Amino acid sequence: MDENAPRYRPGTRAGHYESYFLRANHPERPLAFWIRYTVFSPKGRPEAACGELWAIVFDGEERRCVAVKRQVPIAECRFGGAALPDVHIAEATLAGADARGSAASAGHAVTWALGMRGEPRPLLLLPAALYEARLPRAKSLVPVPFAVFDGEITVNRRPLEIAGWVGSQNHNWGSRHTDHYAWGQVAGFDGHAETFLEVATARLRLGPVWTPPITPLVLRHAGREHRLNATRLALRARTTLSYFAWSFATASDEVAIEGTIDAPRWAVVGLRYGNPPGGEKHCLNTKIARCRLAIRDRRTGVTETLCTAHRAAFEILTDARDHGVALAV
């Protein structure tokens, strides 16, 4: 599989969204960024397809988040790549290890010029066979976990130096968004810089019926990769989810993993996501959440606890409108 190869086909009438996004945290301070290059094509209207640029800068010291979005006609966009993406949205680019662009909306402006370092070691949240299957309609993976970023982001004319910020390069796509999900990622825990967590809880609507929560989890820790993403394990996992807190517990024959991810309301940004079949979803997005993880070796009974105070990515996608988060873009 070419993890960064684009799935978008110009002129498709089936409806499609596809995003390449970068996200990273300051090595010590509660600061983070999220930058997303997206193609969006509504079902049955390929002529209305467009490119989108999204950017959020999270400042946990000032309790302030700045979010912007820009739309560009599809004629000004190009999507390519394989090992690394090759994306052009107007003059903005994500080309190999270099990301540049700008976006402005709602009185805010963000400009970025970033270089990315890191060896591609793709992490698949789903079992490999599902990436070519009809279901689920939405796919996501991490082509470059532990990407390291250097450069500069300017927020409302205020420069922010990016030096050794650690995060990831990600790729997701589909013909419709997951009906309801939570997604979490940690690229390095406090005192365990080598540990990477990717986890999601999803519910799908099949006609009038909702599936039970499905929770795949992949953890790279202490030189091992624990893939708790088989369907039988994902269905057995236990989860509790609210708008700002999420707990999950899953286990294989070798390991049991329990975790919590949460964030204060002020650290969460509300976004409108268009859905290719029609309508929109609300995404509640933060990249400075807390995470606590307990890993129990079921052979030895030894439990190890990992924490991060503000380095967890945490998103919820929902149709509900009672979350109380103002929509920034």
Average pLDDT, the chain: 97
Distance CA 288, CA 308 (A): 10
Q: Are 285 and 271 in contact (CB under 8 A)?
A: yes
Mean pLDDT of 258-267: 98
- Consecutive H or E run containing 231: helix 231-236
Rg (CA), the chain: 19
How high is the pLDDT of residue 81?
Answer: 80
How high is the pLDDT of residue 82?
Answer: 79
pLDDT in tens, 174-194: 999 999 999 999 999 999 999
Closest CA to 226 of 204, 203, 261, 258: 258
Every domain of the chain and the residues it spans: 16-318
- 3-state class percentages of the chain: helix first, strand second, coil last, to nearest 5: 5, 65, 30
How high is the pLDDT of residue 252?
Answer: 97
Pick the residue with more confidence: 80 or 122?
Answer: 122
83 pLDDT higher than 80? no
**Which tokens belong to 150?**
């250097």
How high is the pLDDT of residue 84?
Answer: 81
How high is the pLDDT of residue 1?
Answer: 84
- Consecutive H or E run containing 294: strand 280-297
Percent of the chain with pLDDT strictly greater than 90: 96
pLDDT in tens, 209-233: 999 999 999 999 999 999 999 999 9
Question: Which 3 state secondary structure label does DSSP give 90?
Answer: coil
Distance CA 310, CA 167 (A): 13
How high is the pLDDT of residue 329?
Answer: 95
Distance CA 25, CA 318 (A): 25
Residue 230 corresponds to which amino acid? A
What is the DSSP track for 143-184?
EEEEEEEEEEEEETTEEEEEEEEEEEEEEEEESS--SEEEEE
What CA dihedral angle connects 20, 227, 178 and 242, to 10 degrees?
Answer: -110
pLDDT in tens, 57-71: 999 999 999 999 999
